[in-house]
Amino acid sequence: MPKIDLLQTALKSLQPKHLEVMDESHMHSRGLETHYKAVIVSEQFTGLNAVKRHQKVYASLGELMGQVHALALHTYTPDEWSQQGVAPASPACKGGH
């Protein structure tokens, strides 16, 4: 099963109202299935700061985190998402090995 599918399945434990997982590996020099971006909208983020939200995501991914080189997280409550409606674009890769 592709890693992106595993990530999406694991993140469903957060009961997202909106979930997007994108494989951005093509933008980097580390190979396939290495760089991901996740946009997650969940009631479970209500009242949590960014660090606590990210910890919640990491906990839901468990051992999968060890299989990913980079994961850009954009976490929102439903109210925040209704105001913003879009996650920021990912920056261009600076290269590196």
**DSSP letter string over 68-80?**
-SEEEEEEE-HHH
- Token representation of residue 15: 């009961």
Whole-model pTM: value is 0.85
- The pLDDT tens digits of the residues spanning 71-84 come to 999 999 999 999 98
The confidence score (pLDDT) of residue 33 equals 67
Q: How far is CA 77 from CA 45, 56, 71, 80, in A?
A: 6, 13, 19, 5
Give mean pLDDT, residues 46-52.
Answer: 98
The confidence score (pLDDT) of residue 97 equals 47
Q: Is the pLDDT of residue 96 over 60?
A: no
Q: Is the pLDDT of residue 27 over 80?
A: no
Q: What is the spatial distance between Cα 50 and Cα 48, in angstroms, rounded to a whole number?
A: 7
Q: 50-61 and 3-11 are packed helices; what angle lies between their axes, rounded to 10 degrees?
A: 120
Domains (ranges, CATH) in the chain?
Answer: 3-82 (3.30.300.90)
The whole-chain average pLDDT of the chain stands at 88
